Amino acid sequence: MKRLLSSNCLWITIVLLILLIFPWIQRSQYSQHVMVMTMMAAVLASSWNILGGYAGYTSLGHAAFFGLGGYLVALAHNHFGWHPFISTWFLAFIVTGVALILGWISLRTQGSAFVVVTIAMVFIFRIVALNLASITNGARGLTQARPGWAGVPWSPEFIKIPFHYIMLLLLCLTIFVSWRIRQSKFGLGLIAIREDEGKAEAVGINTMLYKVLAFGISAYFMGVAGGIYSYFFTYIDPQFIFDIFTGVTMVLIAILGGRGTLWGPVLGAFIMEPLGNWIIGTFGGTQIHLTIFGAILLIVMLFMPQGILPTLSEVIRQRGKVKLAKVPS
Amino acid sequence: MPEKNMLEVNHISKAFGGIKAVDDCSLCVERGSITGLIGPNGSGKTTLFNMVTGFYPPDSGTISLNTQPIQNLLPSQICHRGIGRTFQITRLFWKMTVLENMIVPVRHTGWRTLFSRGVKRHEEERAMELLDLVGLTQYRDEEAGKLSFGQQKLIEFAAILMSDPELILLDEPAGGVNPVMIEKIMELVDDLNQQGKTFLVVEHNMRLVMELCQQIVVLDHGQKIAEGKPAAIQNDPIVLEAYLGSTNHAGT
């Protein structure tokens, strides 16, 4: 805790304060909406980063857990009247359970084979959701009642605010867990796996256990975010929520900001998500934002393959060195 | 009274397709000894290492450490039982710092420790002691991949010691290392042996093997062809033939 506070204390506090008062200074529904989606993107990218960044296993299929969380929460809301803001935290443990089993199977593969297996995972979930119509309502999707509390729906002016705060809470929790992992023996082991899995096993790390655990933990936050998301839109369908593009976007965001770093995925989300919305707003609902995303990713990969954050901190470090070197003369 | 033999390998075989890399091979490593494992290239030494450390399951035969069978365990479990190994081609976590490379092998069990602080004070102190032993303390915060080849070899060796193994398997510790460094490695192995560590060493540098090892096992084509004291091995006609070819053939 001390380290978190001492090293980045100042700017974390500032950003947190801005996020806390954001809905009260930005009254526009659109800005509030974009902010919720941005924080969600940060949650997804950060939790993807636990497996994909620390352990180096690129999953393009994390949308499966996002969607599963969404469905579980929507079903529990519709059938039992469980409020999504509360139920999502618990139902996400089911998502984790599913992820542990799927991870135990899929993490036997490595590299590109693992990528393909995870893509297949999303499509399997989608096909199941489409065809299990008695539960999921198939392609017609699931609709939930308008968001509110204790039977009273929130007014259109107010409706984004509760979502803003619950997403902020989730974001803080995700970053905290990611930070704790990064500082722990577990995190050290995950990074060792990324560097050389065979060597890690040779020096006593039960690599399978570490990987499956990382998979399960990252799926938890996916599930919670999916639950909140389904309530935010009050409507989900299989095409929409088990979307390969959701899985790809979080990977792009993490890579852009700095894969394997604590803050990189957050930074990436705060750049890409508002930018994407601005592009769609300006150029209309074409797929032009995908083209631009692709171009940005290409540029980043070419000129700062480590991502924005590591490159920036390296530049600052070098500058600092130069300054220090100049002082004695 | 502990068993005399720390490691017992009984009739193990391993084939890759049609090639019998190790063929019905048995050997023992005595507690407290430095045992050498030599043989021409492709004679199965590294395959044997990989089976002992759990990387390849043997096709048949048993391996036991302190009389406990270990041939079905994961490499990580075997490491926890007390066998540490280095690799023929040095393997480190290249982008991690030297200190982190030292800390990863620290043995730990239980969920609480798993989520506890990655680098603890006493672990760091122990790591620095071992880095001091190999004379590389000043590189603690360097990326391991940036060090020289010889330094990396020493780091790998020092890192193995962090898990405090009883038996240490060295796969060509002197391979590609300059003569001064070889002296240093020999001295280290000898010192650690005095402190009670047992070694099994694969090496092509015959001076190192003959000076350091008390017992030598010779493999050829996956089979054990000789076993004994260095002096006896040096004059064994079968061994000479395996290495140099038979005198009859040399003439033709």
Residue B251's pLDDT is what?
A: 41
Residue B84's pLDDT is what?
A: 93
To the nearest whole Å, the CA of A180 is away from the closest chain B CA by 8
Give the integer Cα–Cα distance in Å for B178 and B150.
8
Find the mean pLDDT for residues A260-273: 93
Instruction: Report the residue of chain B nearest A197, measured CA to CA.
Output: B93
Domain count, chain A: 1
Which residues of chain A have a Cβ shorter than 8 Å from any chain B Cβ? 180-181, 183-189, 191-192, 195-196, 198-208
- Check CB contact under 8 Å for A183 and B92: no
Which of B85, B95, B160 shows the shortest C-beta gap to A195? B95
Instruction: Report the residue of chain A nearest B49, measured CA to CA.
Output: A202
B141 residue type, one letter = D
Which of A186, A201, A203 shows the shortest C-beta gap to B115? A186
Find the mean pLDDT for residues A191-210: 95
**Model confidence at A326, in pLDDT bands (50, 70, 90)?**
low
**Model confidence at B118, in pLDDT bands (50, 70, 90)?**
confident
- Check CB contact under 8 Å for B92 and A199: yes
Find the mean pLDDT for residues B150-167: 92
Beta strand B19-30 with B68-69: parallel, antiparallel or unpaired?
unpaired
pTM of the entire structure?
0.90
- Check CB contact under 8 Å for A199 and B91: yes
Instruction: Report the residue of chain A nearest B99, measured CA to CA.
Output: A188
Q: Domain range for residue A239?
A: 2-326
Instruction: Report the residue of chain A nearest B53, measured CA to CA.
Output: A202
Percentage of chain A exceeding pLDDT 70: 95
Q: What is the 3-state secondary structure (H, E, C) of chain B?
A: CCCCEEEEEEEEEEEECCEEEEEEEEEEEECCCEEEEECCCCCCHHHHHHHHCCCCCCCEEEEEECCEECCCCCHHHHHHHCEEECCCCCCCCCCCEHHHHHHCCCCCCCHHHHCCECCCHHHHHHHHHHHHHCCCHHHCCCEHHHCCHHHHHHHHHHHHHHCCCCEEEEECCCCCCCHHHHHHHHHHHHHHHHCCCEEEEECCCHHHHHHHCCEEEEEECCEEEEEECHHHHHCCHHHHHHHHCCHHHHHC
CB count, 10 Å around CB of A129?
26
Q: Which two tokens stand for residue A66?
A: 């996002």
pLDDT, tens digit (0-9, with 9 covering 90-100), for A145-183: 889 888 889 998 899 999 999 999 999 999 999 999 999
To the nearest whole Å, the CA of A190 is away from the closest chain B CA by 10
- Check CB contact under 8 Å for A203 and B160: yes
pLDDT, greater one: A226 or A150: A226
Pick the CATH number of B1-82+165-252 from 1.20.20.10, 3.40.50.300, 3.20.20.70, 3.30.300.30: 3.40.50.300
Residue B250's pLDDT is what?
A: 44
Q: Which two tokens stand for residue A62?
A: 């994390």
Residue A329's pLDDT is what?
A: 39
Give the integer Cα–Cα distance in Å for A221 and A240.
19
- Check CB contact under 8 Å for A201 and B85: no
- Check CB contact under 8 Å for B94 and A200: no
In this predicted structure, the answer to whether residue A231 has a pLDDT above a threshold of 90 is yes
Find the mean pLDDT for residues A191-217: 95
Find the mean pLDDT for residues B127-149: 92
What is the average pLDDT score of chain B?
Answer: 89
- Check CB contact under 8 Å for B91 and A198: yes
- Check CB contact under 8 Å for A205 and B76: yes
Instruction: Report the residue of chain A nearest B145, measured CA to CA.
Output: A195
The DSSP H or E segment spanning A323 is helix A308-326
Find the mean pLDDT for residues B51-77: 93
Cβ-Cβ contacts under 8 Å, B160 against chain A: 203
Beta strand B215-220 with B60-65: parallel, antiparallel or unpaired?
unpaired
The DSSP H or E segment spanning A149 is strand A148-149
Give the integer Cα–Cα distance in Å for B56 and B43.
16
To the nearest whole Å, the CA of A207 is away from the closest chain B CA by 8
The DSSP H or E segment spanning A142 is strand A142-143
The domain locations on chain B are: 1-82+165-252, 90-164
Radius of gyration of chain A from its Cα atoms, rounded to whole angstroms: 20
- Check CB contact under 8 Å for B104 and A198: no
Instruction: Report the residue of chain B nearest A186, measured CA to CA.
Output: B114
Cβ contacts of residue A150 below 8 Å, gap of 6+?
none
Of A3-12, A204-213, A279-288, B96-105, where does mean pLDDT reach its minimum? A3-12
pLDDT, tens digit (0-9, with 9 covering 90-100), for A238-263: 988 898 888 888 999 999 999 999 99
- Check CB contact under 8 Å for A202 and B55: yes
- Check CB contact under 8 Å for A185 and B108: yes
Q: B23 to each of B27, B125, B229, how far by Cα in Å?
A: 12, 44, 23
Instruction: Report the residue of chain A nearest B85, measured CA to CA.
Output: A202
In this predicted structure, the answer to whether residue B206 has a pLDDT above a threshold of 50 is yes
- Check CB contact under 8 Å for B117 and A185: yes
Q: Which two tokens stand for residue A170?
A: 């989730």
Residue A151: strand, helix, or coil: coil
**Model confidence at A328, in pLDDT bands (50, 70, 90)?**
very low
pLDDT, tens digit (0-9, with 9 covering 90-100), for A68-123: 999 999 999 999 999 999 999 999 999 999 999 999 999 999 989 999 999 999 99
Which of B55, B93, B115 shows the shortest C-beta gap to A196? B93
Percentage of chain B exceeding pLDDT 90: 61
Instruction: Of B114, B109, B147, B108, give the one whose Cα is nearest residue B131.
Output: B147
Cβ-Cβ contacts under 8 Å, A184 against chain B: 114-118
